[in-house]
Chains A and B, each alone.
Chain A
Amino acid sequence: MQFIESIRHLVGTIIEQFPIVFPALNEGFLQTLKLFVITLVGALPLGLIISFGSMAKFKPISLITRVLVWIVRGSPLMLQLMIIYYLPGLVGRNIWGGGEQGRFIAACIAFILNYACYFSEIYRGGIQGVPVGQQEAGQVLGMTKKQVFFKVTLLQMVKRIVPPMSNEIITLVKDTSLARIIALQEVIWAGSAFMKSSHGIQGQIWPLFFTGVYYLAFCGILTLLFGYIERKLSYFE
């Protein structure tokens, strides 16, 4: 009985506070979305460049690239965020400024670098997974190396990498919450602000739990989108 009573109380509180909490969370989620989109726009092409680097025939380049990938993949993103944001100021001059914009730019750079390294390995797998016979067939048909890459390899790579890429991109949605370590005010930050006091509401935990709805909805949309892309790319079968 007490349980039912407390649920009723909670629902009442949520209904009452929702008009205040909802816009605040939306504002936070906008930051999450911005970070997500900018990371993708930066990391998708950069990842391809890094994958070329790690596949380069010229040994020093491939070695150096692989070391970079090892460092970035081998250390926590949270640590990378803190190093990128705080280190310049600690050793010399703070290049980011203290405001929200500087924190956002620093977060974007950390996320782009981090995700480009993960993407590069997916690209590498996709490119190396295309059977050699395909390239040979292209050569036999008199295509140049460039033509073989863009018209034969790249095309088949794209459809191979959709499942692992969608996995990584969905992880990115949730990883954006790590940016709060450098005080980027994304949706989790906005939600947990209500645990202390924010917008005149004190000591409420439900807004933080409610942020989960945003992630679920957004990941749901992405899942549908990737399913659609996969179906569109299912030619040759």
Chain B
Amino acid sequence: MSDTPLLSVRGLSKSFAGHQALAGVDFTLRRGEIHALLGENGAGKSTFIKTLTGIVRRDAGAVWLDGVAIAPRSAEESARAGIATVYQEVGLLPNLTVAQNLFLGREPTRFGLVRGRAMRQRTSERLAEFGLAIDVGAPLGSFPVAVQHLVAIARAVDLSARALILDEPTASLDTHEVTVLFGVMRRLAERGIGIVFVTHFLEQVYAITDRITVLRNGRLVTERETAFFPRLDLVRTMLGHDIAEEEARSETAPRAQRIGAGPPVLRAERLGKVGYLRPVDMTVARGEVVGLAGLLGSGRTETARLLFGAERPDQGRILLDGRPTRIANPRDALRHRLGYCPEERKTDGIVADLTVRENIVLALQARKGPFRPLSRAAQDRITRDFIAKLDIRPPDPERPIGLLSGGNQQKALLARWLATEPRLLILDEPTRGIDVGAHAEIIRLIRSLCDAGLALLVISSELEEIVTYSDRVIVMRDRAQVAELADGAIDVTAILRAIAAEAPAPVPEPA
């Protein structure tokens, strides 16, 4: 009996609109183990979790929990079967009290009336097991996210979860909170609960997990004991060996010689915002690519948003071509010929209903103002030019952009900013979620833009990629600038070292 794994997944597959998001993934979770599920963006972690817990229907594969085949059709069914998921965004209701959240849908009642006092008392007891002593009658939203996470875990466990999936629970927690969470995880594991732990923090992987499963491009790459999986191997496994790396080898040297080629276009001095980003200093010169590296949530996107006026800084200043410039909002940024391709294409980038043409001319038109419309002929010309230049497919300017693939949407967004002839372009994860072919094209494009004299600030999680095109790399950690690499110093290991150096690794409590 104890030999059967707690959770066993075989050949789990899922495709969306012809794209294989998950291809025959096997996964095994033992009782009482903490199992890291790792992979870069687009590796298929989310799809795996959603398919496993029935939020999306699986195309093929089988799941056994305690030797019993299960096929939940919703998160609710999955939780009832014994697999509960706690997402980073908590998934509880901030407007209800802690006790109500813990007991929603199964409140203790007498004669149809909820026994509020009993409910609160039981809640206090449950949370005490997690080392949490809070006012359970207060709205959940009035507590820090860390507490909300613990309440979510308590609810999951209380719903008789045998397998617990924690999807990036630590992304928004501070060191102390992480320590508390790890304590809870260990205690749960001791009780025989299996925990799948998704995270971007490698230190945490080594601090708490027993085994590691790595996914890449929807496939299982490896499954190993954490203790026998050196960090460098792990990183290499996660990133894989793809075109980017090959290009990195052949192209790094020539790029390094270009440093300092042009005059600085943008200079940020002590630019920051309390509680958002610690002050950063940086310059980007004409014809230069500056890479912004760091883990998710390290302050990269925050830097971009402050530079572009999407968020208002409360300290420091920005100089454009040496002159102090106030950028209060994206319109100001646009007027000063800055461009910003945000990370979240769907929510911050495209207007899905509008055509490719309309999406491309949007920023240019915004800069000209509503009463100087671009003629239709001009719009068509610009669109045709960029469709050809960037090889946007299908080459139909009148197709709603929402119907294009991610890579082509990305190219159209690039076109939107290139059409404004910017002097500085900020690209936030330009290759996120797009296929390998488009990936290489975009990297080629970044280079040619730079050669044409544009200043580029590129944010990417893909270190290999950053190494490929950057003249300098600024490394971020914990919402602060921690290192700047230049010349021959730019390589993946150096960046990783900078990210990992003195990282506030959660000190594991002796269990």
B partners with A:
no
Residues on B facing A (Cβ under 8 Å): none
Residues on A facing B (Cβ under 8 Å): none
